[in-house]
Amino acid sequence: IVEGGHYGWPECAGRDLEMAAGGCRGKLAPVAEMAPHSSTDGLVYYDAGHFPAQYRGSLFAAQYGGDERSQTPAGREIVRIQVAPSQGSVPQSATVTRFAAGFRRPLDVTVDALGTLYVADFESGKIYRIVWLGP
C-alpha cells in the first residue's frame, strides 16, 4: 500500500482501469486480483519455519466466497499470495494460487509461533489446523 495512493475505488476496480467515465488514469493498479465474489476476509503473513522454505514470505488469505446463487462460484478456500520481488519498495506483481479447499465459509486465517496455520470457518463453527506433513 502506497501512502496517499488512490487505487480507484469506487470509480475503478481491478486492472480494467479504462471502464470508468473519464478513465482511471493516475490510479494505482492492483498487484494481484482475486476472483469476483470471493470476498477475501482474513489475511496473514507467513514467516515461520513449519512449512518448507518456499512458503516463507507468502500471504495466506481466507476467502469467504459468494452464495449458491452466484453464476461464478468463487472463494470458500485459502489462497496463497506470492509477491514478486521488485526494484523499488512497491511490489509490481503477485501470484494467487489455491492452497486449501473444502471449507464452508472460511472467515479468517492466522499462524501460531510454531508456523501452524489455523482457519476459522464461520458456517461450520469450526477452527481447522493446517500442518505440513511432507510431499
Cell numbers for 45: 503473513
CA angle 91, 95, 99 (to 5 degrees): 130
**Alpha-carbon span 41 to 17, nearest angstrom:** 24
Confidence of residue 134 (pLDDT cuts 50, 70, 90): confident
The predicted structure's pLDDT at residue 12: 78
Whether the predicted pLDDT of 34 surpasses 60: yes
CATH entry, 40-130, from 2.60.40, 3.90.1530, 2.40.10, 2.50.20: 2.40.10
Confidence of residue 32 (pLDDT cuts 50, 70, 90): confident
Average pLDDT across the chain, whole number:
86
Per-residue pLDDT, averaged over 19-42, amounts to: 80
Residues 6+ apart with CB under 8 A from 48: 56, 111, 112, 113, 114, 115
Which sequence spans correspond to the domains of the chain?
Answer: 1-30, 40-130
Confidence of residue 129 (pLDDT cuts 50, 70, 90): very high
pTM: 0.84
Element (H, E) at 72: none
Q: Where are the beta strands (DSSP E) in 35-116?
A: 40-46, 58-63, 77-83, 94-101, 106-111
Tens-digit pLDDT profile for residues 38-94: 889 999 999 998 999 999 999 999 999 987 676 666 899 999 999 887 766 666 789
